Amino acid sequence: MNLKRKKVMVTGGSGFIGSHLIKKLLELQVKVDNFDLSLGFDIQNSKQLKMYIKKEYDAVFHLAGFSGSVISNKDQVKSFRINSLATVNLCELICKYSPRTKLVLSSSRLEYGNPQYLPVDENHPTIPTSAYGLSKLIATQMAQNYHKRDNLDVTIFRTSNVYGPHQSS
């Protein structure tokens, strides 16, 4: 996908991955909107999200989330509200107000749970062992459902042990 001079939204764009992504997109001359809680934009706020999606982006990189197994297990409701329900709402809004938008959904290798074999590939069973892994699996499956039902153009990527320059501890 050539994004030069395209219009892109990044949810969670002030986070570790998002900030690096936005930096690279700007180098590629992409017009970028950062939809991030630190800027007053809450992925759970349907009105805010709708206002942005109506701008009809060429792509939305959905990185916003409530991350981490331990913290998600302590506040499971929050984990599912942010990771699952907000993603469903995002898919719904894109299908309704911007159906040509490409959704790039960030997920996690924790969807797989404990490895049953190595290397873990896309055919590996998904048996999450945390609320976080399950909330991300639900988001992934719902995005796939929107793809099948409404032709949502979606790419899902699962990360594992992301690290690099400027990482907070």
**Per-residue pLDDT tens over the stretch 26-76:** 999 999 999 999 999 999 999 999 999 999 999 999 999 998 889 999 999
Does 160 score more than 90 pLDDT? no
pLDDT, position 25: 98
126, 132, 135, 137: CA torsion to nearest 10: -20
DSSP 95-124: HHH-TTPEEEEEEEGGGS-S-SSSS--TTS
Return the CA Rg of the chain.
Answer: 16
Q: What is the pTM of this model?
A: 0.95
Residue pair 79/72 in contact (Cβ under 8 Å)? The answer is yes
pLDDT, position 166: 63
pLDDT, position 143: 98
Looking at every residue in the chain, the average pLDDT score rounds to 95
Q: Is 68 left (phi over 0), alpha (psi -120 to 50) or beta?
A: left
pLDDT, position 67: 86
pLDDT, position 37: 97
Which entry of 52, 57, 112, 132 is annotated as an active-site residue? Answer: 132
Q: Is position 112 annotated as part of the catalytic site?
A: no
Does 158 score more than 80 pLDDT? yes
pLDDT, position 153: 98
Question: Distance between CA atoms of 105 and 103, rounded to whole angstroms?
Answer: 6
Does 18 score more than 60 pLDDT? yes
The full set of domains in the chain, from first to last, is 7-159 (3.40.50.720)
pLDDT, position 1: 79
Amino acid identity for residue 157 in this structure: F
Question: Distance between CA atoms of 161 and 159, rounded to whole angstroms?
Answer: 7
